Amino acid sequence: MKTLLITRPMPEPVLDKARARFEVTVRQSNLPLQDGELRDALRDYDLVMPTLGDQFSQQVFVDVPEPRCRLLANFGVGYNHIDVNAAQTAGVAVTNTPGAVTDATADIAMMLMLMSARRAGEGERLVRSGDWQGWHPTQMLGLHMSRKTVGIIGLGRIGQAIAHRCFFGFGMTVFYFNRSAKFMEFEAERCETLPELASKVDFLVTALPGGGETHHLVNSDAFDAMQPHARFINISRGDVVDEQALIAALQAGSIGGAGLDVYEHEPNVPETLRQLENVVLLPHLGTAALEVRTQMGLMAVANLEAFDQGQQLPNQV
């Protein structure tokens, strides 16, 4: 029976499924693996189920050139915390859990769009403060979302799910920025550059993977192009956005607001960002529903089982 390290506590159905086939060790901390733990994971276990924050960098594989571990079955669709090339060079396969996260993450994008547009965060803080003096015709006027324009950066599974919700749920006009054209069941216009997209829309939404190719892709060029009332939403990875450029745009009031579920140096959120009223801040809730996290875990276990049986990995990256 192969040994498996699961680097965070998981829903019980996931653990039950894993324990039925493997000798499982569940790390009880919710914090990312530290330097020594990363190297020990590669040395001491046949298989590892890591997740966001477990930084399996090139240096970790350099330090463990002949790892016992043969598979990193990542819990999550994003895997920019794993140097896949270094893992493959060391003979370690990497898998992820696409599909399971699509609807939940798209839903969070819609929630942030509405919360930012209708100033829901500000409104809740006002009520909780005890200073609310009652309804009046000009109270906390925000932006109506129905029939507006949305620009989606990255039109993969999650981007398309967001576009579908915007078009069919809110009657929005859809624009997008993507390496290649996408064909969907409704009209969506592709923009050639990110500033062009940013200049056209009321809502600019990122739905990109993290990593070197997308690092700071959304920067001051995009924010400078946005209309003063437009909202920026990030549900992808924090380092896709130049956080300081976003803060500058919010402080200057050159964009209408923002809704963020992820941050460049997560979980560290700059004090300047936390003090701004025109931004909604969530603690990376993108897939935070029990059934979704369970499905993600079961998909990761399915990758582990396929590896153990010598079968083709369902979700190899």
Q: Whole-angstrom Cα distance, residue 43 to residue 179?
A: 39
Count of C-beta atoms within a 10 Å radius of residue 186: 11
String of b and e for 96-129 (b: at least 16 CB within 10 Å)?
bbbebbbbbbbbbbbbbbbbbbbbbbbeeeeeee
CA 73 – CA 48 distance, rounded (Å): 6
- The candidate with the shortest Cα–Cα distance to 303, out of 12, 17, 109, is 17
Which 3-state string (H, E, C) describes 146-178? CCCEEEEECCCHHHHHHHHHHHHHHCCEEEEEC
**Selection from 165, 104, 109, 107 nearest residue 294 by Cα:** 104
Q: How many CB atoms lie within 10 A of CB 242?
A: 20
Residue 23 annotated in active site? no
Q: Return the number of other C-beta atoms located less than 10 Å from residue 32's C-beta.
A: 17
Residue 136 annotated in active site = no
CB 88 within 8 A of CB 79: no
Catalytic residue among 21, 215, 284, 305: 284
- Distance, in Å, from the CA atom of 86 to the CA atom of 171, rounded to the nearest integer, reads 45
Are 150 and 173 in contact by the 8 Å Cβ rule? The answer is yes
In the chain, the N- to C-terminal Cα span, in Å, equals 25
Q: What tokens were used for 31?
A: 């914090």
The catalytic residue among 37, 196, 266, 305 is 266
The active-site residue, picked from 119, 231, 237, 293, is 237
CA distance 161 to 179: 18
Active site residue 165: no
Residues annotated as catalytic are 237, 266, 284
